[in-house]
Amino acid sequence: MTETRLSPDSIDEAARRIDPAFLRTPQFRDAALSRALGRDIVVKVETLNPLRSFKGRGADLYVRRLTAGAHVVCASAGNFGQAVAYAGRARSVPVTVFTAHDANPNKVARMRELGAEVVQTGRDFDEAKDAAREYAETRPELVFVEDGDEPLIAEGAGTIAVELAPLGLDTLLVPVGNGALISGIGCWTKARSPRTRIIGVCAASAPAMATSWRTGVPEATGPVSTMADGIAVRVPVPAAVDWMREVVDDVLLVEEEDILLALRTVRDTLGLLLEPSGAVGVAAALRHDLGTGSLGTILTGGNFSPGLLEELAPDPARADVTAPSSSAAR
């Protein structure tokens, strides 16, 4: 585990160094989505890039600083592996990604398309991570990188906060998987705009990071089952728990039905198809009372599974997703 703390100055530097393909993503208020939520909300769309997720920011920053001859090994539910593969291909760095046997087949295919060797093993992401760590010890050129433990990954993700800063948001909802995203965003925001509340969002069916943040002790759970595979964490990363404790104001849980409603809401208002983990911020806005003030969230990924479109088919019991307008929406 790393002991290195995150640095807002390093995040500022990262915002000048990262591949422009991943920077300055769209961020806006949408009237239809705000009506559906009953309040004004800003979304930052991290799906309009070569990887359809925010992960390229941190992976690009990390891979560009590797020494010559390195061969990167990592574990991923899919998006982080794609990002490392993309950055590795750009700099001729070999990449091996370990995933669970039941990983999203679209994500697995894309990792291979980007040049990564993909090893499918284990019943879930955390078992695949254990296998990746063991494999990385077999040869000296193999470098294991863990999402949520490597500061450069978190600092790269933190550049999202730099871009959101001009909007002066009161509250920002951030999906929480391994914790790199919220840690990087929280580090920069609390240093530059301490009044902004940073609120994490976990799937209720995968609450390990929420529980660990509250207690301050990394606490693994039993098997997890959530449609939000990108945040289906069973074993928390200790470094990320420590980082989060310093900069996160609260962590909320959303149920599976909340996530499904959020996916439909985003589809029907913004015209975007997200993967479930990318919509949990919207799910939290639908489920929880977040008080007054300006609100924003990050749509973190759009690499959905083959079966998601069927799950999103119209529900005859529900006429539409639009709630009555409130005074907060404009």
Q: Which two tokens stand for residue 80?
A: 């982080």
Residue 214: strand, helix, or coil: helix
In this predicted structure, the answer to whether residue 69 has a pLDDT above a threshold of 50 is yes
CB 264 within 8 A of CB 316: no
Residue 3: predicted pLDDT: 55
Q: Write down the architecture of domain 8-53+151-311 according to CATH.
A: 3-Layer(aba) Sandwich (3.40)
Residue 313: predicted pLDDT: 84
Query: Which strands make up the sheet holding 27-29, listed edge to edge?
Result: 27-29, 42-45, 295-299, 171-175, 197-203, 250-254
pLDDT band (50, 70, 90) for residue 326: very low
Residue 47: predicted pLDDT: 98
pLDDT band (50, 70, 90) for residue 309: confident
Residue 317: predicted pLDDT: 54
Identify the H or E element spanning 199. strand 197-203
Distance in angstroms (rounded) separating the CA atoms of residues 141 and 93: 11
Residue 243: predicted pLDDT: 98
Dihedral (Cα; 294, 46, 277, 132), 10-degree rounding: -130
Quote the mean pLDDT of the chain. 94
Rg, C-alpha atoms of the chain: 19
Residue 315: predicted pLDDT: 61
Percent of the chain with pLDDT over 70: 94
CB 174 within 8 A of CB 181: yes
Residue 194: predicted pLDDT: 96
Residue 316: predicted pLDDT: 52
pTM to 2 decimal places: 0.93
Beta-strand runs (E) in 30-176: 42-45, 71-75, 95-99, 117-120, 142-144, 171-175
Q: Give backbone dihedrals phi and psi of 35, rounded to 5 degrees, phi first.
A: -65, -40
In this predicted structure, the answer to whether residue 201 has a pLDDT above a threshold of 90 is yes
In this predicted structure, the answer to whether residue 4 has a pLDDT above a threshold of 90 is no
In this predicted structure, the answer to whether residue 282 has a pLDDT above a threshold of 90 is yes
Burial class (CB in 10 A: 0-12, 13-18, 19+), 127: middle
Rounded mean pLDDT, 57-64: 98
In this predicted structure, the answer to whether residue 322 has a pLDDT above a threshold of 80 is no
Residue 324: predicted pLDDT: 34
In this predicted structure, the answer to whether residue 2 has a pLDDT above a threshold of 50 is no
- pLDDT tens digit sequence for 109-152: 999 999 999 999 999 999 999 999 999 999 999 999 999 999 99
In this predicted structure, the answer to whether residue 318 has a pLDDT above a threshold of 90 is no
- Reported CATH class of domain 56-144: alpha beta
Alpha helix (H) residue ranges in 91-195:
105-113, 125-136, 151-157, 159-164, 180-192
Distance in angstroms (rounded) separating the CA atoms of residues 18 and 278: 22
- pLDDT tens digit sequence for 7-48: 999 999 999 999 999 999 999 999 999 999 999 999 999 999
Q: Which two tokens stand for residue 271?
A: 């015209």
* Parts of the chain belonging to CATH 3.40.50.1100: 8-53+151-311, 56-144
Q: Which two tokens stand for residue 96?
A: 């091996």
Percent of the chain with pLDDT over 90: 91
CB 297 within 8 A of CB 285: yes
Q: Taking the mean position of all CA atoms in its chain, how far away is CA 264?
A: 19
pLDDT band (50, 70, 90) for residue 190: very high
Q: Which two tokens stand for residue 150?
A: 């490597």
- pLDDT tens digit sequence for 218-238: 999 999 999 999 999 999 999
Ramachandran area for residue 321 (φ above 0: left; ψ -120 to 50: alpha; else beta)? alpha
Rounded mean pLDDT, 300-307: 94
In this predicted structure, the answer to whether residue 278 has a pLDDT above a threshold of 90 is yes
